[in-house]
Structure 1
Amino acid sequence: MTKSVFNKINLMWIVLIVVLYVVLSTMMNVGIINSYYKITLFNICINVMLAVSLNLVIGICGQFSLGHAGFMCIGAYSAGVITKMMPNYFGLLIGLLVGFAISIVAALIVSVPTLRLKGDYLAIATLGFAEIIRILVQNMKITNGAAGLSGIPPLTTFPLLLLGVVVTIVVCSNFTRSAPGRACIAVREDEIAAEAMGINTTKYKVLAFVIGAILASAAGALFACNFYVIKPTQFTFNKSIDILVMVVFGGMGSMTSSVLAAIAIGLLNMILQNFTDIRMILYGAILVIMMIFKPDGLFGDREISLTKIMAKRKAKKEAR
């Protein structure tokens, strides 16, 4: 790809993001997106960050992790505690950085021994880690124990959320296309063959795990400063499963699939709120039907690529 084409594609993505921001902001300002729909929109943005970051670990690196809620919990409580002491955006920034630091240390402690495991053993180990984090938070004075934190400053805004989504997608997409990302894909396809080719499989699996943990921590921080109240019960095993469902629902190995799945499930949850008695039954039935007829996920491993779109248009012009 030439430098001019690369710059043109980047410019197109920037224009699309700006247009999306202007359209959604305008709809919120004029009341088309009311407070109820705004909550749904904010939830979707947070879920996109969580789904894309988990897809990096499961879909790209092929490591079945059930501990994502633990890193989200770390980010949420780091931001919650610090922003209560410093109720401004500087406090949120400090909270994000503290969450990143704790998440990196926790991810290294967990990943170095557990990523030598495979399949169900890795899932159980990461699940146990998430529960340990939740129980620690539940028994600490600084986190107010089981009662949780309340009165967290409402610092999360739509521009901040959109920035978080864009940064998450850019980081994960660029990592996937980089040399370490290609090494992770090789590990996913055949770990034994990757090791035979001289790839340090543990190193790259740990790297992907740490990046996913940092991004999940950022999503947790924005979650805490959006809902004002956080409790340990919000970061249980069920939350990890919710994030996993979004990845599987869309299709593992594709960032586009994770984004679209998070949006689809967010809208589906909003629609099914009107059917409280049978909401979980309908939700489960839809997922089961989708898994039967689309086992690779709703969108599979396909990516939206402006490079490919432009290449096809160029090929059509040349064919004429």
Structure 2
Amino acid sequence: MIQEFKKIWKQYAIGMLWLLGLLWPLLGIHPDGTLTFQKTFTVWLYILAGTLVCLFVYVANQGGQLRFITTPVDGVKKSISLFVKPFPRWVWFVVIFVLAVIYPQITGRYATDVAINVLLYICLGLGLNVVVGLAGMLDLGYIAFYGVGAYTYAVLNVTYGVGFWFCLPLAAVFATIAGCIVGYPTLRMRGDYLAIVTLGFGEIVRIVLNNWMELTNGPNGILGVKPVSILIPVFENGFSFEIFWVKKLQFFYYFALALAILVIIGVHRLNYSRIGRAWESIREDETAAELMGVNTFIYKLLAYAMGAFFAGLAGAFFAARMRFVSPESFTFLESAMVLCMVVLGGMGSIPGIMLGVVALIALPEVLRDFESYRMLIFGATMIIMMLFRPAGLIPAQRVGKRSEEKE
């Protein structure tokens, strides 16, 4: 145990001193210009004590001193796995679906609103997963297609009075066309060059939305977008249909849930199709895939278009829910956030990305009561996750095994 502690005490000491230097501007500098150190040092001592205990537990576990605890825990894990294994996978899907359906009935308005955001970002994360996780292309301007979908519905609805259900596929189609236009000249590049170019095109789309006053109303945005509507049959004075405007948060939740399920099924089917296998071959080794007869440019362009398609669907729903769109909702920070969800959850893994979305969207809301420390705790949690789970929370499972993995 002592030898294990000697290996890491320097890194631990440097990290705690760095944390002290980070905490002091947050807690020691006040709005009136005064400087104090007592509160910072007190908070730092609490963090030091807690992390020191965690460090000793970790070192003791690595040295085998906690076997009297880990052995019973492993036994419980095996018992749970033996209990879960006989049930087919569809049973757990049904259980999760039932819980998702009754969720707004057992929670409040705030929790339902957070759940809608989670479902919306699941659609975005899975769309970007097609580009980054399956095809292996780093896209830093993905949120631009989200904006194209949102503005498509906003412009058609406010200017021409077109309904949501007619605009939903149109938003996806326009986003797909935008993806093809952006992807055609950029996908001949690889690596960092591709990331820089996609970042540039993403900013170009945002600037166009911000300056095209006649179409997008510029930085003022488009106000008065109609929400989702449903035709309900009415039998008073004969048979007719009446338009029902969805305004309750619970109904928006169910629409977001249906959209997320549609995207999950679509990405899953793509993943296990011939196209998905071609994408994975390009991700692993583009040159070898091209030598084996895969038209790498066409498949990369298809991945870019499919990712834009899912983003367009999410964008149309976002505009209908918020009833207002502006260029400030589609900045580079949003692209970076969606990319973090994909990397944190596990590239190519559908359940991993869903868990990554929950971690990045719901976790800050859970920590909202900590006020000033919320983002600090959130950042530390993300760093710990990436240190101990570098492949993601739920890494993607390979269809087969490589020869070196068998050895």
Which TM bucket (shorter chain)? Answer: 0.7 to 0.9
- Check 1:274–1:148 CA distance in 2 against 1; reply closer, same or farther (3 A cut): farther
Q: Which residue of 1 aligns with 2:56?
A: none
Within the alignment, does 1:108 sit opposite 2:180 as a pair? yes
Larger Rg: 2
Within the alignment, does 1:149 sit opposite 2:244 as a pair? no
Match of 1:183 among 268, 274, 278: 278
Q: What is the correspondence of 1:1-320 to structure 2 with a 5 Å cutoff? A: 15-16=94-95, 18-24=97-103, 28-29=104-105, 32-85=106-159, 91-140=163-212, 141-155=214-228, 157-302=252-397
Contact 2:345 2:353 in 1 (8 A): yes
Cα deviation, residue 233, structure 1: 1.1
Q: What is the SS of the residue equivalent to 1:275?
A: helix
Contact 2:355 2:393 in 1 (8 A): no
In structure 2, distance between residues paired with 1:235 and 1:79: 15
- Check 1:59–1:23 CA distance in 2 against 1; reply closer, same or farther (3 A cut): same
Contact 1:257 1:302 in 2 (8 A): no
Contact 1:82 1:94 in 2 (8 A): no
Cα deviation, residue 302, structure 1: 4.3
TM-score by structure 1 length?
0.84
- Superposition RMSD on alpha carbons, in Å? 2.3
In structure 2, distance between residues paired with 1:280 and 1:125: 30
In structure 1, distance between residues paired with 2:393 and 2:93: 27
- Check 1:147–1:278 CA distance in 2 against 1; reply closer, same or farther (3 A cut): farther
Unaligned runs of 5+ in 2: 1-87, 229-245, 247-251, 399-407
Q: Which residue of 2 aligns with 1:311?
A: none
Task: Give runs of ≥4 in structure 1 deviating > 4 Å.
Answer: 9-14
Contact 2:203 2:332 in 1 (8 A): yes
Using CA pairs under 8 Å that are at least 6 residues apart, name the structure with larger relative contact order, 1 or 2.
Answer: 1
| Most deviating of 48-57 and 137-146 | 137-146
Q: Which residue of 2 aligns with 1:317?
A: none
Q: Which residue of 2 aligns with 1:306?
A: none
Cα deviation, residue 130, structure 1: 1.0
Amino acid at match of 1:270: E
In structure 1, distance between residues paired with 2:108 and 2:124: 24
CA shift digits 1:95-154 (9 cap, x unpaired) = 223322321221111112211111111111111111111111111222221011223223
Amino acid at match of 1:54: L
Contact 2:174 2:312 in 1 (8 A): no
In structure 2, distance between residues paired with 1:10 and 1:277: 42
In structure 2, distance between residues paired with 1:128 and 1:289: 31
| Most deviating of 137-146 and 239-248 | 137-146
| Most deviating of 267-276 and 183-192 | 267-276
Contact 2:173 2:312 in 1 (8 A): no
- Check 1:86–1:19 CA distance in 2 against 1; reply closer, same or farther (3 A cut): farther
